[in-house]
Structure 1
């Protein structure tokens, strides 16, 4: 089992809460992903921001995974 990094979890939770609060402040809506996807599937032209939001979720996850996350070091290799 991997090591639990509580500081990363805390910072992630703070960022999610901050993002949701900013979204509510600027759009007057709650940032619910299921509602975003439902509205995006309807394909109305004035709802393009929903696709941007959903795409940002994937890009943010990929950015963390491949750029910001610490890479594991190989174990068991004798040099």
Structure 2
């Protein structure tokens, strides 16, 4: 996979923390930051899925009334 270079400015304390955490994990600062971004992007995806599931649960009765429930579909097919 091709890599793109980013230049990021942070205060010295943040830079030192990034260096220390990367060293503790046995990886470069670049890889450490890359993993942080990937993890954050994954959390956004999980947050969306969780919110969608909550929405569906909240409106389950409305969908069942409008489109039929799963239980009634399962019984009618047997």
TM range (shorter): 0.3 to 0.5
TM score, norm. by length of structure 2: 0.33
Larger Rg: 2
